[in-house]
Amino acid sequence: MSVIRNEVRRGAYQDSVALMRIARAVQSLDGVEVAGLMIGTPANLEILREADVLGADGESAGPGDIVIALRAKTAAQADAAMAQARQLMDRPRASAGAGQSWQPRTLRSALTETPAANLALISVPGDFAIAEARKAIRLGLDVMIFSDNVPLADEADLKREARDLGRLVMGPDCGTAIIGGAPLAFANVVQRGDIGIIGASGTGIQEVSCLIAQAGRGISHAIGTGGRDLKAEVGGITTLMAIDLLDADPATKHIVIVSKPPAAEVTAKVLERVGRSSKPFTICFLGDAERAMPKNARVVRTLADAASLATGIAATDKAMSAVAARKGVIRGLFAGGTLAAEAQLVVLAAGLEVASNAPVPGSSPHHDLPMQHTFLDLGADEYTRGRPHPMIEPAVRDEPLAAALRDPAVAVILLDCVLGFGGHMDPAGHLAAQLSNRAKNGPTIIASVTGTDGDPQNRAAQVEKLKEVGVRVEASNAAAAEMAARIVRRGR
Amino acid sequence: MAVELAAISIGARAARLFSTRIDWTVVATFERSFYMRSGDAFVCIGEPSIGDGPLNVIVAHLPSISIGAPCRIDATSAAVWHVSLSPSLGGEGQGEGRLLAPTPPPATSPAREQGRTSGCPSPSDRPDGRTSSLSPEGAGKREGSNLLKTAMALALPESFIHAIADRAHVSLIHRRARIGIEALQRGDFDLAVTTLAGLGHGLTPSGDDVLAGAMLMLHALGRNGTAATLADAVRRIAPARTSPLSFAMLEPACDGEPNAAVHRAIAALLTGASPNDVIDPLSTIGATSGFDILAGMLIAAAA
pLDDT band at A318 (very low <50, low <70, confident <90, very high): low
CA angle at B23 for the pair B19 and B27, rounded to the nearest 5°: 115
Q: Which of A48, A66, A95, A112 is the mutation pick for testing B, counting most B CBs within 10 A? A: A95
Q: Which residues in A lie closer than 8 A to residue B176 (C-beta atoms)? A: 43, 46-47
pLDDT for position A137: 94
Do the chains contact at A98 and B64, CB–CB below 8 Å? yes
Q: What is the pTM of this model?
A: 0.63
Do the chains contact at A39 and B47, CB–CB below 8 Å? no
Do the chains contact at B169 and A14, CB–CB below 8 Å? no
Mean pLDDT of chain B: 74
What is the C-alpha to C-alpha distance for residues A292 and A403, in angstroms, rounded to an integer? 43
| A105 and B CB contact within 8 Å | yes
Q: Which residues in B lie closer than 8 A to residue A11 (C-beta atoms)? A: 27
Q: Which of B45, B164, B173, B242 is the mutation pick for testing A, counting most A CBs within 10 A? A: B164
Tally Cβ neighbours within 10 Å of residue A292: 7
Using CA atoms, how far residue B79 sits from A56, A142, A209, in Å, is 49, 42, 57
pLDDT for position A260: 83
Tally Cβ neighbours within 10 Å of residue B92: 21
Q: What is the ipTM of this complex?
A: 0.74
Do the chains contact at B198 and A26, CB–CB below 8 Å? no
- B48 → chain A, closest CA residue: A102
| A90 and B CB contact within 8 Å | no
Q: Judge whether residue A382 has pLDDT over 60.
A: yes
Distance from CA of A227 to the nearest CA of B (A): 30
What is the C-alpha to C-alpha distance for residues B300 and B213, in angstroms, rounded to an integer? 8
What is the C-alpha to C-alpha distance for residues B286 and B202, in angstroms, rounded to an integer? 9
Q: Judge whether residue A93 has pLDDT over 90.
A: no
Do the chains contact at A44 and B205, CB–CB below 8 Å? yes
| A121 and B CB contact within 8 Å | no
Q: Judge whether residue B138 has pLDDT over 60.
A: no
Do the chains contact at B162 and A23, CB–CB below 8 Å? yes
Percent of chain A with pLDDT over 70: 95
Do the chains contact at B284 and A105, CB–CB below 8 Å? yes
Q: Judge whether residue B260 has pLDDT over 70.
A: yes
What is the C-alpha to C-alpha distance for residues A406 and A377, in angstroms, rounded to an integer? 20
Do the chains contact at A20 and B61, CB–CB below 8 Å? no
Do the chains contact at B173 and A47, CB–CB below 8 Å? yes
Q: Judge whether residue A354 has pLDDT over 90.
A: yes
> What pLDDT, in 10s, does the model give residues B279-298?
888 888 877 788 889 889 88
Do the chains contact at A19 and B202, CB–CB below 8 Å? yes
Q: What is the pairing mode between strands B79-82 and B93-94?
A: antiparallel
Distance from CA of B12 to the nearest CA of A (A): 24
| Contact between B102 and B120 (Cβ < 8 Å) | yes
> What pLDDT, in 10s, does the model give residues A3-54?
999 999 998 888 777 887 888 889 889 899 989 898 999 999 998 998 899 9
Q: Judge whether residue A81 has pLDDT over 90.
A: yes
| Contact between B132 and B220 (Cβ < 8 Å) | no
Distance from CA of A41 to the nearest CA of B (A): 5
What is the C-alpha to C-alpha distance for residues A162 and A137, in angstroms, rounded to an integer? 6
CA B222 to chain centre: 16
Query: Is the pLDDT higher at B58 or at A264?
Result: B58
Q: With CA atoms as reference, report the closest residue to B293 among B214, B179, B240.
A: B214
Distance from CA of B209 to the nearest CA of A (A): 13
Do the chains contact at A13 and B207, CB–CB below 8 Å? no
pLDDT for position B167: 43
pLDDT for position A96: 42
- B282 → chain A, closest CA residue: A105
Scan residues 33-72 of A and list those with Cβ closer than 8 Å to B: 33-36, 38-39, 41-44, 46-48, 50-51, 53, 63-64
Task: Read off the pLDDT of each residue in B123-137 and give the average, rounded to a whole number.
Answer: 27
Among A72-86, A310-324, A399-413, where is mean pLDDT lowest? A310-324
Distance from CA of B122 to the nearest CA of A (A): 34
Among A35-44, A455-464, B64-73, B173-182, where is mean pLDDT lowest? B173-182
Q: Judge whether residue B247 has pLDDT over 60.
A: yes
Distance from CA of A28 to the nearest CA of B (A): 9
Task: Read off the pLDDT of each residue in A199-222 and give the average, rounded to a whole number.
Answer: 96
Distance from CA of B44 to the nearest CA of A (A): 12
Task: Read off the pLDDT of each residue in B7-22 and give the average, rounded to a whole number.
Answer: 93
Mean pLDDT of chain A: 90
- B62 → chain A, closest CA residue: A97
Distance from CA of B156 to the nearest CA of A (A): 13
Task: Read off the pLDDT of each residue in B271-276 and give the average, rounded to a whole number.
Answer: 76
pLDDT for position B97: 27
Distance from CA of A25 to the nearest CA of B (A): 9
Residue B189: exposure state from Cβ atoms within 10 A (0-12, 13-18, ≥19)? buried
| Contact between A69 and A47 (Cβ < 8 Å) | no
Do the chains contact at B203 and A16, CB–CB below 8 Å? yes
pLDDT for position B94: 35
> What pLDDT, in 10s, does the model give residues B206-219?
899 999 999 999 99
pLDDT band at A291 (very low <50, low <70, confident <90, very high): confident
Task: Read off the pLDDT of each residue in B169-184 and give the average, rounded to a whole number.
Answer: 77
Do the chains contact at A47 and B207, CB–CB below 8 Å? no
Query: Is the pLDDT higher at B161 or at A392?
Result: A392
pLDDT for position B118: 26
Do the chains contact at A35 and B240, CB–CB below 8 Å? no
pLDDT for position A164: 96
Q: Which residues in B lie closer than 8 A to residue A34 (C-beta atoms)? A: 164-166, 169
CA A287 to chain centre: 21
pLDDT for position A17: 73
pLDDT for position B45: 96
pLDDT band at A103 (very low <50, low <70, confident <90, very high): low
Do the chains contact at B64 and A105, CB–CB below 8 Å? no
**Of B64, B165, B198, which is closest to A44 when you measure between CB atoms?**
B198
| A26 and B CB contact within 8 Å | yes
CA A339 to chain centre: 11
Do the chains contact at B245 and A13, CB–CB below 8 Å? yes
Do the chains contact at A13 and B35, CB–CB below 8 Å? yes
- B31 → chain A, closest CA residue: A96
pLDDT band at A178 (very low <50, low <70, confident <90, very high): very high
pLDDT band at A317 (very low <50, low <70, confident <90, very high): low
What is the C-alpha to C-alpha distance for residues A180 and A194, in angstroms, rounded to an integer? 11
Task: Read off the pLDDT of each residue in B184-191 and give the average, rounded to a whole number.
Answer: 91
Query: Is the pLDDT higher at B50 or at A94?
Result: B50
User: Taking the CA of residue B301 as centre, how many other CA atoms within 13 Å lie in the half-sphere pointing to its CB?
Assistant: 33
CA A269 to chain centre: 29
Task: Read off the pLDDT of each residue in A346-360 and give the average, rounded to a whole number.
Answer: 93
pLDDT band at B17 (very low <50, low <70, confident <90, very high): very high
What is the C-alpha to C-alpha distance for residues A235 and A268, in angstroms, rounded to an integer? 10
Query: Is the pLDDT higher at A119 or at B106?
Result: A119
Query: Is the pLDDT higher at B120 or at A88?
Result: A88
Q: Which residues in A lie closer than 8 A to residue B195 (C-beta atoms)? A: 43
Q: Which of B66, B158, B166, B171 is the mutation pick for testing A, counting most A CBs within 10 A? A: B166
Q: Which residues in A lie closer than 8 A to residue B32 (C-beta atoms)? A: 95-96, 102
pLDDT band at A428 (very low <50, low <70, confident <90, very high): very high
pLDDT for position A197: 98
pLDDT for position B139: 34
Q: Judge whether residue A162 has pLDDT over 60.
A: yes
